[in-house]
A and B are shown apart, each in its own frame.
Chain A
Amino acid sequence: MACQEYQELLSAYIDEVLTEEEQRRLEKHLEQCSDCRQELENLKETVVMLQSLDEVEPPAEFRQQLRQRLEAEQTRLTVERPSLVSRLMRSPWLPLSVAAMLVLFVVAVFGINMFVPRVGSMPKADRGGALQKAAPEMDIAEQRAEYSKAKENGIAREQELALDNKSTVPTEEKQFERKVIQRANFTVQVENVPAAEQKLRSLTGRLGGYVQSASIGKRDADHYYAHLTLRVPQEKFNAAVAEIKQLGEVINFSSGGEDVTRQYYDTEARLKVMKEEEESLLKLLEKAGKLEDIMQVRRELSRVRQEIEVMESELKRLDHLTSLATIDVSLQQQEVPDDQISTKSVGGVWSRAVQAFILSTNRLIKGLGELVVGLAALLPVLLLGIIVLVVIAIVKFTQRGNSE
């Protein structure tokens, strides 16, 4: 075997995929041939360099673009999912299915005509009795199911309550501080929007929070509005909510919390494991002598470090979200009291009229749509009717022709 042929085996030799026989022969040749040994060294080095290429950072706008495309995809999937009708309309089977429907219709009409009298002559009392007998049994079974379901729900609710109450948290979770992302949403009508906005700012500061964003503006000459997003410490959440309710008339209020306790401690545990791995890899790196080993360890190290980075940023995000509750407040100007002449309600009339117009137009469109659907449903019947009429006309016509 010539050197050329041995050298063709080197790539597979590096990956250890030669047959035993090939490997044995190659290794024997390598012992004697320095050219092939050199070739192997160079090839190995190339492979190591390629495999140790760094991962590449995506461009800055990558995530944003991806997010947009994902969201577009989501709307496409939910909005444009082809309905059964449109899929049918596009189907090459459409003419055939229409024909089949007609045949079915004819069979059904004849069938009913043939069987209806016999069904009708069946004693009515009997049928009713059978139904009534079946009903109570079902009721009892259903009631039982309902009862046990309600019981389960009750227990589940009790358990939830127990979990919410920190003193009775199961021991397993006791060591964990609960991590909840707390949110509230307000719409409040106030007499003086700028004053209320100032009050919100000062109460946020007093409670040790900060105003994340705020916008204040005028809808018209004397109609102020404002939107604020406040961040207050978790434990001051209830106090803040109570104070905001005092600002004016609360039109809208919602609040809720997303429990991320498990997610948080999962990530933390994984992070700990990864850090330990990083530690031991670093020790390994000090000991590693061979080039290939060093490369291998460093590759592993960069992977581990990347994962650590991801987890740390996730923890930071959760910390940020859970340490401070988020409160969105929309402030609206209250209408002037009735003993003053108000021009504002005139504007209201116009917009209400517009709304009424839109509403009734929508209803009209919907009604028309239903009419079209109804007509379409009647189409086979109409078609059959037309065919029958045409046949009758032809028969009549030929009869008249015959009699003349």
Chain B
Amino acid sequence: MSLADDRLLERSKAGDVEAFAQLISQYEKKVYTIAYRFMGNHEDASDLAQEAMLKAYRSIKKFRGDASFKTWLYHITANVCRDELRRRSKRRETSLDEPLFFENDEVPKQTADWTNVPERVYENKELQGYLHGLIKALTPEYRMVIVMREIQGLSYEEIARQLDCSLGTVKSRLSRARKALKDKIVADREQSGEIRRLNK
């Protein structure tokens, strides 16, 4: 954190909204992205990303600085989103034996162009939308570990701590979620290849 940021932080602790707004503007996009991957749609993402920043503003006096401000802010964001997801699924715990990864028919239809993949994930908006749709279709338990690991880049220990579950649970949930996503991707790609072959 730079000197300027330090000063912004000090002013934010004194309740200065302008300073706080300036401080968080650099992390806004990432906070929004985390919320968007967790919640799946822009409306909820906007609401919860803002909620997270409000929460940070309310509790900034308690921010000690032993973690970086950025980490602290992302942590709050993930917390707010998880709470909301849990509230919505009304504690409907999925057991590990339950074969269902995707909720009913929200699974995205195959629309992506798979030529030159995945080198071109960056330039491929369709593919990005398709992958987002896959994450969104995961049940909350699996979506959470995927977002925390692949989007937030947290360690297994950190995920276990935040979800209040064992390392083993994190390992197996992550493994199952990744496999489900992979199976879907592989199947879709094969199908799209076949369609192209038929079209030729």
Contact = CB atoms under 8 A, between A and B. Distances in A.
Given A46-B182, A266-B4, A53 B53 contact: no
B46 A62 contact: yes
A77 B15 contact: yes
Interface string A218-229: 000000000000
Interface in A4-20: 7-8, 10-12, 15, 17
A52 B135 CA distance: 14
A262 B4 contact: yes
Interface stretch (B19-27, B80-88, B98-106, B192-200): B19-27
A262 B3 contact: yes
Contact of B171 (A12, A50, A53): A12
Contact of A56 (B20, B36, B50, B53): B36
Interface string B168-198: 0001101100110110011000000000000
A266 B185 contact: no
B30 interface: yes
How many residues of B sit at the interface, in one of the four size bands?
Answer: 35 or more
A71 B36 CA distance: 24
A59 B46 contact: yes
Interface string A74-91: 100110000000000000
A73 B54 contact: yes
B54 A69 contact: yes
A43 B180 CA distance: 10
B49 A58 contact: yes
Contacts of A263: 3-4, 7
A267 interface: yes
Nearest to B16: A74
Contacts of A106: none
Given A56-B29, A66-B53, A78 B15 contact: yes
A164 to B, nearest CB: 20
B153 to A, nearest CB: 8
Contacts of B186: 42
A43 B178 contact: yes
A54 interface: yes
A142 B8 CA distance: 36
B150 interface: yes
A46 B185 contact: yes
Interface residues of A, number: 49
A48 interface: yes
B65 interface: no
A70 B182 CA distance: 41
Nearest to A62: B46
Given A266-B4, A306-B29, A45 B118 contact: yes
Contact of B178 (A47, A53, A62): A47
Given A10-B175, A49-B118, A70 B57 contact: yes
B7 to A, nearest CB: 7
A219 B33 CA distance: 50
B162 interface: no
A56 B181 contact: no
A54 B131 CA distance: 11
Contacts of B181: 46, 50
Interface of A: 7-8, 10-12, 15, 17, 42-43, 45-59, 62-63, 65-67, 69-71, 73-74, 77-78, 262-263, 266-267, 270, 291, 294-295, 298, 302, 306-307, 310
10 nearest CB pairs, A to B: A11-B175, A50-B150, A58-B32, A46-B182, A263-B4, A55-B33, A56-B33, A49-B118, A266-B4, A66-B50
